[in-house]
């Protein structure tokens, strides 16, 4: 009997751990999707600005614009590119962590299944005296 209660406690602990990991995994997925959406918006904005800049270079007025006025735009684009790279690195780290969580969840599910099978085996293979005592 005590061994069975220990196994039940372990099983309950594993089930609780899996539930927490699944919740964390779901939250991480939502955050990751949100970040990817923002990342896509940034990339679209960069592409739109680049396209607009190409169109504007064809205009004669732009040729008359002093280089000093274009410097803030170049700096802003460089900063945006750096932020995009940083965001990309953050997303990679988040993906790696999510993959680790998925792997941990799979391992815990396997452990829970094994414990449940062991528990069934103990009940089924208890023998006459063990069944009679319980």
pLDDT at 34 over 70: yes
- Give residue-wise pLDDT tens across range 37-86: 888 888 788 878 777 766 665 555 555 666 677 788 888 888 888 888 88
CA 45 to CA 54: how far, in whole Å?
14
pLDDT band at 4 (very low <50, low <70, confident <90, very high): confident
The overall pTM is greater than 0.85: no
Residue ranges per structural domain of the chain = 2-122
- Give residue-wise pLDDT tens across range 79-123: 888 888 888 888 888 888 888 888 888 888 888 888 888 888 777
CA 81 to CA 84: how far, in whole Å?
5
What is the Cα gyration radius of the chain? 29
Spatial CB neighbours of 81, under 8 Å, sequence gap ≥ 6 = 46
């Amino acid at each position: 009997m005590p061994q069975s209660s220990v196994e039940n406690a372990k099983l309950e602990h594993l089930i609780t751990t899996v539930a927490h990991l699944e919740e964390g995994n779901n939250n991480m997925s939502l955050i990751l999707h949100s970040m990817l959406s923002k990342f896509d918006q940034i990339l679209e904005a960069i592409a739109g600005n680049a396209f607009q800049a190409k169109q504007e270079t064809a205009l004669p007025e732009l040729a008359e614009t002093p280089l000093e006025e274009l410097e803030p735009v170049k700096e802003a684009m460089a900063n945006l590119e750096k932020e995009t790279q940083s965001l990309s690195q953050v997303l990679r780290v988040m993906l790696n962590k999510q993959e680790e969580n998925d792997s941990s969840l799979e391992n815990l599910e396997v452990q829970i299944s094994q414990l449940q099978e062991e528990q069934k085996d103990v009940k089924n293979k208890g023998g006459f005296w063990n069944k009679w005592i319980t």
